[in-house]
Structure 1
Amino acid sequence: MEYLGLVPEHIEANLARTRLPWRVELTNSRGDVHGGTLMSVLDFTLSAAARGSLERGVSMATIDMTTSFMAPATGDLVIEGRCIKLGKSIAFCEGDIHDAAGQRVCKASATFKVIRPRPDGSGKVGTD
C-alpha cells in the first residue's frame, strides 16, 4: 500500500480509516482514480478493520469482495472499513470511499479468511 500512497489514519477493533492522496499515477484515462486502485485500498482497509480485533501476527486472505462504483473518484479520498462479524476463521466486512466533499464514490463488502500463526512457533502460517 506504500506504493499507492495509502495513509492509515485510525485502526481499532472492527473499524479502520485510511486516506489516499490524489496522484496522477493512480488515475485512468479520464483523470479519475482507477477502479483497481479503489479496490486495492478497500481490500486493505476492510481487512485492517478485522485485524484490529485480533492478536498480533494474524493475517487475512481475501475470499471475495463485491464493489459498487457510484461516482467518479477525484481528489483525495477517505476509505472507511467496518468488520460486521468476526468468527474464528472468517471475517465479514463492509466499507465506503468518500471524496473530499463527502460524496460516497464507492462501496464494498468482503469476506476474509483469518490466518493465524502456528502455535509451534515455526513461523509458518496455519489456516485452522
Structure 2
Amino acid sequence: MKIINVDNPDLGCTAYFGIDVPFMRHIGLLPERLEPGLARTRLPLQQELLNSRGDVHGGTLMSALDFTLSAAARSHDPLATGVITVEMSTHFLGAARTDLVFEASTIRRGSRIVFCEGEARDAQGNAVCVARATFKLVHVGSHPATGEPSGNPQTQTTLP
C-alpha cells in the first residue's frame, strides 16, 4: 500500500498531495496523509475562519471537506488524476470551535466517477460535520480538445 505524506519527495513542491491549491493554503488547511481510498487533513483554528458566533464558518467546513473528499477520490493515482466535484451533500452536526481533523474515504470508484464520504472532527473527537460527494475523474496535463499532452500540468480533461 503506497502512503503519501506531505514531505514525500515524489510530490515536488506542490504540498496538497501533488497539486497546488491556493485557496486551501489561504485557509490554512494542512494535508496529513493520503493512501489508496483515504485522505486526512487538519485545519488549525483561526479567527479569520469564524462566523459571527465564534464558530468555524460552514463555508470553511465545506471547502475543507470538498478538498479532503477530492483527495480521497484521486488517491489511487494522485499525480496523474484530477477530479471535478459533481455533487456534494453536507450535514452540520454541531458547532466547530477547535482545531479540526478531516478524514475522507472512497465508497466506490468506477472508471469515470468516484463516490466518497467524509467527516470533520473537533479536538475532542466529536463529529461536527459529515459529507458525501460524487467526483468526475480527469487526466492531468491533457489538452481538452485533443487529449494530447498540453505542457500545462494544471490542464485537465475527462477520462475516456
Q: TM-score range by the shorter chain?
A: over 0.9
Which amino acid counterpart does residue 125 of structure 1 have in structure 2?
Answer: Q
**Local SS of the residue matching 1:102:** coil
> Kindly, what percent of the aligned residue pairs are identical?
52
Moved over 4 A (4+): none
Which amino acid counterpart does residue 45 of structure 1 have in structure 2?
Answer: T
Q: Which moved more, 1:89-98 or 1:117-126?
A: 117-126
Question: Which runs of structure 2 are paired with 1:22-33 in the superposition (5 Å)?
Answer: 22-33=45-56
8 A contact 2:92–2:129 mirrored in 1: yes
Q: What does residue 68 of structure 2 align with?
A: 45
Task: Give RMSD over aligned pairs.
Answer: 1.2
Q: What does residue 14 of structure 1 align with?
A: 37
Unpaired runs of at least 5, structure 1: none
Q: What does residue 57 of structure 2 align with?
A: 34
2:148 is aligned with 1:120? yes
Which amino acid counterpart does residue 67 of structure 2 have in structure 1?
Answer: F
Q: What does residue 9 of structure 2 align with?
A: none
TM-score, reference length from structure 1: 0.95
2:79 is aligned with 1:62? no
In the aligned structure 2, how far is the partner of 1:43 from the partner of 1:29? Answer: 23
In the aligned structure 2, how far is the partner of 1:74 from the partner of 1:125? Answer: 37
2:97 is aligned with 1:74? yes
Q: Which moved more, 1:52-61 or 1:33-42?
A: 52-61
The CA deviation at 1:120 is 2.1
Looking at both structures, which has the greater relative contact order when contacts are Cα pairs under 8 Å and sequence separation is at least 6?
1
**Local SS of the residue matching 1:93:** strand
Unpaired runs of at least 5, structure 2: 1-23
8 A contact 2:71–2:78 mirrored in 1: no
TM-score, reference length from structure 2: 0.76
Which amino acid counterpart does residue 73 of structure 1 have in structure 2?
Answer: A
The CA deviation at 1:57 is 2.7
- More strand by proportion, 1 or 2? 1
Count of residues in Structure 1 that have an aligned counterpart in Structure 2: 128
- From 105, 119, 123, the equivalent of 1:96 is 119
